[in-house]
Structure 1
Amino acid sequence: MEQQLEERLAKAPVVPLVGGSDPAIAVETAIALHAGGLGIIEVVLRTDEAVDCMEAIAKQTSGLIVGAGTVLTVGQAEEVIARGAQFVVSPGLVDEVAEYCLERSVPLFAGTMTAGEVQRAYALGLRTVKFFPASLAGGVPMLKALSSVFRHMKFMPTGGVTASNLGDFLAVPSVVACGGSWLTPAAEIDAGNFEPITNLAREAVNIASAARPKG
């Protein structure tokens, strides 16, 4: 799975965050994002029904890689993996969660924002971490500073990433991808308007292509 993630992120280095409490709407949102070129979906565990939403996306769509975000405990990691999560994202770094995922070869993007946390993640065996909250933790300058010290670490900035600064983050060589909720505006989803979601995804893919031209 790790290799599949890397290959998919190399093509479209953006991971949209999907929330909500209605599995049917979550599936429609994921399909809209996929139509715009984004094939990796992070379902954030911020409602009681979030795991149901994640499981529905995993079972009712094809061609998507689906993971669970806002995973706080080993118990949550165990549940989401059992119900179809192909990767796990957490807002912070917890040794037990990291060890649980590493033992099962499930990719984990643990949240970090300081050199000490990145160093701890490296010692645990992680080589890609979430940088969160990206804008408040120092943004691009902080990422460049961390990258100069941790030469073998990759980062996924999330939190404050938008279409206006996506290109700046992706221009940092150590950034493997960016995560963001701007791609799934609640107002559009609540109104049942999924075409704007596809358009936002397509815009993000175009920004990423401009920031990382191939060839």
Structure 2
Amino acid sequence: MQAREVLEISKIIPVITIDDLKTSIDLAQALAKGGIKILEITLRTKEALEAINLISQEMPDIIVGAGTILNAKMLEQAKNAGAKFAISPGLNAIFAKEAKAIDLPLIPGVTTAGELMLALEFDLKNLKFFPAESSGGIQTLKSFLAPFSSVKFCPTGGINLNNIKEYLTLKNVACVGGSWLTPKELIINKQWDEITQIAQKSLARSQ
């Protein structure tokens, strides 16, 4: 699978933080029931890699990736855990060079034109625009379209039900990502039906 294929799986990529491994399958099933086909599990908790492995094995129809990848070591760990893709919040030359030796689709985060140019130096054309809303949001992405016409973005950071449609109308946006689909209180209270409903509503809004 290539990075562009990852971004074209769905209009929405839920960004998930796993605090309790025991809830990971229930959470993934709730999202899948709502029509979600792809998940980004952030490597912000000690349970993350194990959750990637567990969901990948138990739910092979769901494409599971790793987020918050900060270096090549984490990229290798994500691959070994069964991740099908990786997303990083940013990019630097050392990481970009080392990542090329690891056979896992990488979608690095960028904010500025300079970071975009660095990504292109390493033939990285499928990027996360992060943090989207606080970095100019839709207007910045519109400005990127002409000089960087070959690039496709997945904006994350401040994305929610109220603005996903506007982002998805942009020619250089393939999909959007965010944590609004999995509110922490719903996970703690195991309100899986409510999470399914959020997923259904979000996908409907994305059309």
RMSD: 1.4
Which amino acid is the alignment partner of residue 120 of structure 1?
A: L
Which amino acid is the alignment partner of residue 187 of structure 2?
A: I
Find the aligned partners of 1:103 and 1:151 in 2 and give their Cα distance. 27
In the other structure, the counterpart of 2:72 is 74
Note the C-alpha offset of 1:37: 1.0
Note the C-alpha offset of 1:194: 0.7
TM-score normalised to structure 2 length: 0.95
Note the C-alpha offset of 1:123: 1.0
Find the aligned partners of 1:52 and 1:65 in 2 and give their Cα distance. 15
Note the C-alpha offset of 1:208: 1.3
Find the aligned partners of 1:86 and 1:139 in 2 and give their Cα distance. 28
Match of 2:149 among 148, 151, 175: 151
Find the aligned partners of 2:138 and 2:24 in 1 and give their Cα distance. 31
What stretches of structure 1 of length at least 5 have no aligned partner?
Answer: 210-215
Note the C-alpha offset of 1:7: 4.7
Alignment of 1:197-212 (within 5 A): 197-209=195-207
In the other structure, the counterpart of 1:212 is none
Conserved in 2, the CA contact under 8 Å of 1:132 and 1:158?
A: yes
**CA offsets per residue over residues 12-66 of structure 1, 9 Å max, x none?**
3100011122222112111111111111100001112211111111111131000
SS in 2 for 1:149: coil
In the other structure, the counterpart of 1:187 is 185
Identity %: 35
Conserved in 1, the CA contact under 8 Å of 2:42 and 2:67?
A: yes
Note the C-alpha offset of 1:154: 0.6
In the other structure, the counterpart of 2:37 is 39
The alignment of Structure 1 onto Structure 2 pairs a total of residues equal to 206
Find the aligned partners of 1:19 and 1:97 in 2 and give their Cα distance. 23
Find the aligned partners of 1:6 and 1:129 in 2 and give their Cα distance. 9
Which amino acid is the alignment partner of residue 132 of structure 2?
A: A
In the other structure, the counterpart of 2:159 is 161
**CA offsets per residue over residues 90-138 of structure 1, 9 Å max, x none?**
0101333333443344211101000000111011110111000000010
Conserved in 2, the CA contact under 8 Å of 1:54 and 1:66?
A: yes
Alignment partner of 1:92 is 2:93: no
Conserved in 2, the CA contact under 8 Å of 1:134 and 1:160?
A: yes
